[in-house]
Amino acid sequence: MLIKPPSDIRPSEITPESVYLNRRQFIASGLGVVAGGVASSLLPSASIAAAGDGLRATAPSDMARAAPAAWWGSKFEAIKPVDTAGGFYTSESLTPYRDVISYNNFYEFGTDKGDPIANSGDLKADPWSIAIEGEVEKPGVYTLEDILKPHDLEERIYRLRCVERWSMVIPWVGFPLADLIKRFQPTSKAKYVEFLTLHDPQSMPGQRSRFTTIEWPYREGLRMDEAMNPLTLLAVGVYGNYLPPQNGAPIRLVVPWKYGFKSIKSIVKIRFTENEPATSWNMLAPEEYGFYANVNPSVHHPRWRQDMETRLPQTLLSSSRSPTLLFNGYADQVASMYMGMDLAKLY
């Protein structure tokens, strides 16, 4: 499979990896988070102006309509660098930005990998609010600004493994889900955390398709100890900048030891429950998609073996195939949560 970038993204609009990897040097010299080579809709206008060296980028129109609010700027100017000594980092080669934003599963915008970037231009990511519900002391509907205000953003470089057997290495920007959970004070009855994606057929053509088999809105869930694990991230950015709509703007979940469909995008509701919540793919095909969805090379999907994976981007000269690691390589951080469980049955 040869993955080609969409024709409407010019090379000048892609963050060069050398620029990204040296972002801290640019911050120190007053250039903002990343001044050059990033779509202008992914940067606050003040950061673009601060560059002062003639660098300008024109965003594809679908990204421009989902540009975040101006108050995000200060958040992204103070991203905590990745902790290379912890489990929040891998030294494996990063998946190029163009592939991260153009090769996606986001069925709300269509089932083909190129549909999300092609069809997500009408997503309105500002204003945005998230409802906190269920077994929690502080329920309510909170603006995204209120959600983010107390939290410092940090960088995590995680592997992403799709159940379809392809994988990426992505530098996310976000904060631990555990920090958010503590703020809203779950009660003793809260054993699970449920998440729901935006339901807006007008801006999400996949939701209004007569061929859809998913019961909208898309929903996912975690056991409370999984949600509180330090690896579990609420991401608001990628490659040092805001999430594009096709990647789950403005806020999504990232659970790196589970298959990618667990990392729900464009979250509008977080509900704390006593009982295991229903999840979209498990509702649709329970024999193929379990609640846990832990990456496990010895438990195969009916259509895809899971003992090998293909790291994107794949080219005609390189297959980029490698063995799949149990828990996607995060066993040291998460295996203890599943002690005594039959992971072949509780897949």
Cβ atoms of 294 and 261 within 8 Å: the answer is no
* Angle, alpha carbons 122-221-75 (nearest 5°): 55
Supply the pLDDT for residue 17. 54
Cα–Cα distance measured from residue 103 to residue 118, given in angstroms and rounded to the nearest whole number: 11
Supply the pLDDT for residue 324. 97
pLDDT tens for 155-198 read 999 999 999 999 999 999 999 999 999 999 999 999 999 999 99
CATH of 82-336, one of 1.20.1630.10, 3.90.420.10, 3.40.50.2000, 3.40.50.300: 3.90.420.10
- Distant-in-sequence, close-in-space partners of 149: CB < 8 Å, separation ≥ 6: none
- Smallest CA-to-CA distance from 123 within 215, 212, 244, 9 is with 244
Average pLDDT, the chain: 83
Cα–Cα distance measured from residue 268 to residue 288, given in angstroms and rounded to the nearest whole number: 26
Supply the pLDDT for residue 18. 52
Supply the pLDDT for residue 76. 85
Domain boundaries, the chain: 82-336
Cα–Cα distance measured from residue 149 to residue 151, given in angstroms and rounded to the nearest whole number: 6
Cα–Cα distance measured from residue 61 to residue 40, given in angstroms and rounded to the nearest whole number: 10
Supply the pLDDT for residue 130. 98
Supply the pLDDT for residue 69. 67
Supply the pLDDT for residue 9. 35
Supply the pLDDT for residue 314. 81
Cα–Cα distance measured from residue 159 to residue 169, given in angstroms and rounded to the nearest whole number: 4
Torsion angle (degrees, nearest 10) of CA 83, 88, 89, 94: -120
Residues in the chain: 347
CB-based burial label for 50 (10 Å; 0-12, 13-18, 19+): middle
Cα–Cα distance measured from residue 293 to residue 259, given in angstroms and rounded to the nearest whole number: 6
Helices (H) and strands (E) in the chain, counts: 13, 12
Ranges of residues in the chain whose predicted pLDDT is under 70? 1-69, 318-319
Supply the pLDDT for residue 146. 94
